[in-house]
Each structure stands twice: as C-alpha cells, then as structure tokens.
Amino acid sequence: MNARGVCRHLLRSGSYLDSVVLMQLQRSLAGLPEVLDAGVVMATPANQELLTSSDLLPEDLEGARSDDLLIVVRAESEEAAAEALGRVDELLATRRSGGTGDFRPRSLSGALRQLPEARWVLISVSGRWATDVAQEALEAGRHVFLYSDNVSVRSEVELKRFAAARGLMVMGPDCGTAVIAGVGMGFANRVARGAIGVIGASGTGLQAVTSRIHTLGMGISHALGTGSRDLSEEVGGISALQALDLLRRDRETRVVVLVSKPPDPSVATRVLAAAQATGKPVVVDFLGAPAPGRRLGSLHFARSLEETADLAVELLSSETGQGMPPVAASTLGLVRGLFSGGTLAQEALLRVGAFLQPIESNWAAAPAESSVATGEGQGHTLLDLGADEFTVGRPHPMLDYELRLRRLRQEAEDSRVGFILMDVVLGDGAHNDPAAELGPAVRAALNQARAEKRELEIAIVLVGTDEDPQDLEAQRRTLSEAGASVFTSLRELTEAVALRFANQPMVETPEVSLAALEAPLTAVNVGLESFYLSLEAQDARAVQVDWRPPAGGDETLGRILDRMKRGAMS
C-alpha cells in the first residue's frame, strides 16, 4: 500500500441514480472504516474530469458511457476497498421508499395509473432526457414543473406552445421553486397561506420574496415559477402570461407580485399590459432594470426584493392598494409624442416605453440616424422638439408653437395614429397664451378624425401654477373645450396611455383551469427523490417514479423504441 491508498471502482452499465442519491451514497461510502475518499457519479466526461482533479479516476476505466454509474473508493487496503464496494447495494437499499406501499413504478405512465388524479408532474432528470419526459407528461394532460436545466431554448418554446394550446402549463425549465395551495415544490420555503400571489422568473428571488412576506405576517396564495428564460424574446413570456391569468381569476389572490431578471423589452410590454389587465394591484421587480416610475395605474414598481415584499404587504393592508379595472376596449393606433421639454420627453419615454414597443425617439438615436425627426417613423414615436436638431435657426418650442402645430397636423392626418401626447409649459419667458394657438389646432384635428370615422385622442400635460401669467385655469379650460384630455402631471398622462394599451387579452390560448391550483396537491415526481420526500412531508399525494434512461441510455435505440411506441399508440 502506498500513501495514496488503494483505489478501486465499480461500473454499472445503464444504472441511473438521481443526483441526491449519488451524493448520499458517496457520503455513506466515505464514512466507512478505512475509506479515505469516495466518488459516486454518472460517468459523463465532465464528471470523469472532476474525478481526475480529485485523483479518483481509475486508470483502467474503459468504455464508460454517460449513463453508466461509476463508484470509486480509495481505502487504506485492498480489503477495505473491496468491503466498501460490496456494501453499495446495502447502502442503496436504505433509501426511503415511497408511493403506495413499497412499490415504485418504473415509468411515468405507470405512475399515472397508480395516481390518476395527479395534476402535476415534477421532472428533475438529466436535461438530455427531460424534454421527452415533459412531452410525455403534457400528452397525458398534466401540468409540468420542470426543474431540469440544460434544456434547449428551442425545446422550451416547443413544450410551452404545446402546453398552452391544450390549456396546460410548464413551469421551467430551470424552475427551482413553486408553491401551490400551500405545498412547496422543488426548493421551496414553508410559508403561510394568504392573499399574495407571486410569479417568479427568478427562483431564489421568488424564495426571498415569499419568505419575507411570511416574516411580515402575511401569506402566499400561490407562487408560480416560470423558468429563468421565460421572459426572453425567444420564449415570449408564455408561462408568465398564463400565471398572470391564473392569479387574475383566482379569488384567493388579492395582490400579485412579479419578479424577474430584466426581461426582453417587447416581452416586458406584453407582460406589464397583462399585469395591468388583472384589475389587481401588482408589484413589479425587474431586477436591476430601470423602472418606469413608482406607479403606473395598478402597477407598483419596486427596486429590491425586500421592497417588493414590503410593498405587497402594504398594498394588501391598505385601502389604496385596490386594483384598477381595465378600461373599455380601444382601437387606438400608434402613439406620437410632441414635447417641448427635454426632461418631460425623456420621462414620458421611460414610462410609456414599458407598454409601447418598439418606440422610436430622438432620445434613443442620433439625429442623423433617426427617421422620426422627419416624420417617417413607422411605429410609436416620442419626440423632444426642443432638441438641437429642431431648434437650429428657430425659437425653442416653448416660445414658438409653429413647429408643433405643423407636426400636430401631420400626425393627426396619419390614419395609423390614435393618440397624440403633448406638453404645455407655462411660466415667465414661455409663450404668453399657448392655448390660444393650440386649442384651435386640437379642435380641427379631432373634428377631421371624427369626419373620417376614426379614433383619435389628444392628451396634454399642463405644467404651471396658478400664479403664472398665462392663467393656469384658463389654459386648462380652453384646451379641454377644444377636446383635449388635460392632465396636471406626467404620471397621470402616462397612466392614461398605459391603461388604454393594457387592455388586451390575457392569454391568447385556452385558459389553464384553476383546478391546477386547487388543494390537495397531487403529483408524480420523476427525478430527485428529495422533491418527492418534501411533497410527502407536506401531506401532498405523490408517487415517485423509479426512472431509468430509456434503452439504457442508448439514444439511437431510444429513438427507435419511441417511434415504435408512438406507432403502436396511433
């Protein structure tokens, strides 16, 4: 025997164990007498490299496949190594069995026959197999909690679209946390039941928020994970939109929380509009992304996980926390903003940009690159007409309304435009009577739109005081009589825009039945045994599948068997 001890191994072909069981077996072996070190892994190339770095990779290992179980021990003697390897089956047998009696089905279909009322399937097998297991669960009409990572974006999109078309939901992949009807799934905390529903595209973020809400004395109705990529451009927020729709219809949920890493802007637009349309107060924390203000309609924006939880509790406790019902359906078209104040234009862009994507602006592009300056923009547009490119050789638009009146007529004649935003800034040095010029132009634009039987709204934020020489109330009255919607703050104006563009269908596919959230939770677990044991400890009805890779891990043979299986079913 040398100082390194004796290293011996055991290779079991096609013998799959989940990662928690591998860890438990490795610890048990390492704790045996005279055992110096142990490694228990599936024999993937990455795991073999890990064993090499620990000086545990057997020198005589040949022909090992990724789905082979590799058990290695280093002991003080040949006898100790042989004894340790001889106890592998005994140590594995000490695992707690579950389901009905000691029987564990070997397949998902067998588990569903054993627990036909199961509404959820939890999946935590290796990513290379997870897509097939999830597809099988969806084809069986079950919702999926997909913890597995290393699932491709393409597979995620295909799974979620398949599910959505059938009124089913996929939480994940890479979804670590959920709480349904008081039962935690995956890595969930034990939290009190209550009236705050949480949607998380960030697993630990969801845990942090739900835990703090519990600590503050409130509870969770449901916490729905979506997977970290759900709000990406490719996936499009499919699960988040389904979750918002579920919590909208759920009577137990009175306040909604939405936590995510920064989403794709176009997806954020849809998700925020859907959140607004719930009619319930919603706290939004897009981690690290700039917020479009502190509040927009019934949306409340937080800047940290702690603040998110605090604000949700405050809204639930406060009469002012009531949501705002969606406004009537509108056929308003493009939004065009014609501002004289640069800061007003920039803040308006930030606030309405959360709901209008894509939106063009001379704040977002160099003048030479921006088609909006010439009125050739094809989408939503917001302009600072006081910027340098517009004021060369002409007075600032707070003094001279000629440019804005011309652009107002131009935008109003465009049949695609349904909403024009403007500011009127009063005070010393500004135009001495803006409404006298702007009022007739507003009336003419609205009359023309009515004559052409199309919708057009002109909204104006009036900035000034009752001490200003232009007479604030007289300006407001003149503009209102001309037909404009006049607001005294930019927040009110941008909320008006948000409310109109938030009124869109929550889900464009069949609704997910609220039965998905009903107690008692019933589920089948495929993968990590610890997830099953957690469900069992929370008195949920669950079955653990004694899952093995199909065809012993041979992907080619597995595909042949799958085609044969599907052919037999058709």
pLDDT, tens digit (0-9, with 9 covering 90-100), for 111-163:
999 999 999 999 998 888 899 999 999 999 999 999 998 899 999 999 999 99
Q: Which residues contact 386 (CB under 8 A, 6 or more apart)?
A: 339, 340, 341, 342, 345, 396, 397, 398
Label the pairing between strands 334-339 and 417-425: parallel
Residue ranges for the chain with pLDDT beneath 70: 1-3, 14-16, 67, 94-102, 319-332, 364-377, 502-507, 551-570
Fold that domain 334-502 belongs to in CATH: Rossmann fold (3.40.50)
Cα-based torsion angle of the residue sequence 48, 552, 135, 46 in order, rounded to the nearest 10 degrees:
0
The predicted structure's pLDDT at residue 15: 67
Q: Distance from first CA to last CA of the chain, Å, rounded?
A: 62
Contacts 24+ apart (CB under 8 A), 187-193: 188/223, 188/534, 189/214, 190/538, 191/219, 191/220, 191/223, 192/218, 192/219, 192/220, 193/219, 193/220, 193/221
User: 383 near 373, Cβ under 8 Å?
Assistant: yes
Q: What class is the 6-93 domain? A: alpha beta
Name which of 315, 309, 320 is nearest 216 in CA terms.
309
The predicted structure's pLDDT at residue 101: 46
If you search the block for the tokens 């500011």, which residue do you land on? Answer: 423
If you search the block for the tokens 């799934």, which residue do you land on? Answer: 185
Residues of the chain with CATH 3.40.50.720: 103-174+527-560
Cis amide linkage into residue 173, ω under 30° from 0? yes
User: 486 near 83, Cβ under 8 Å?
Assistant: no
Label the pairing between strands 69-75 and 6-12: antiparallel
DSSP state letter for 517: G
User: 124 near 531, Cβ under 8 Å?
Assistant: yes
If you search the block for the tokens 């290695």, which residue do you land on? Answer: 72
Q: How far is the C-alpha of 478 from the C-alpha of 436, rounded, in Å?
A: 8
3-state secondary structure of 541: strand
The predicted structure's pLDDT at residue 359: 84
Fold that domain 103-174+527-560 belongs to in CATH: Rossmann fold (3.40.50)
Q: How far is the C-alpha of 123 from the C-alpha of 142, rounded, in Å?
A: 12
Residues of the chain with CATH 3.30.1360: 6-93
What values do phi and psi take at 147, rounded to 5? -75, -30
Q: How far is the C-alpha of 63 from the C-alpha of 13, rounded, in Å?
A: 10
**SS3 sequence of 73-135:** EEECCHHHHHHHHHCHHHHHHCCCCCCCCCCCCCCHHHHHHHCCCCCEEEECCCHHHHHHHHH
Record the pTM: 0.75
Residues of the chain with CATH 3.40.50.261: 175-326, 334-502
User: Both tokens of residue 566?
Assistant: 């599907």
Q: How far is the C-alpha of 309 from the C-alpha of 318, rounded, in Å?
A: 14
- Architecture of the CATH domain 175-326: 3-Layer(aba) Sandwich (3.40)
The predicted structure's pLDDT at residue 219: 96
Name which of 323, 309, 95, 69 is nearest 208 in CA terms.
309
Q: How far is the C-alpha of 63 from the C-alpha of 14, rounded, in Å?
A: 12
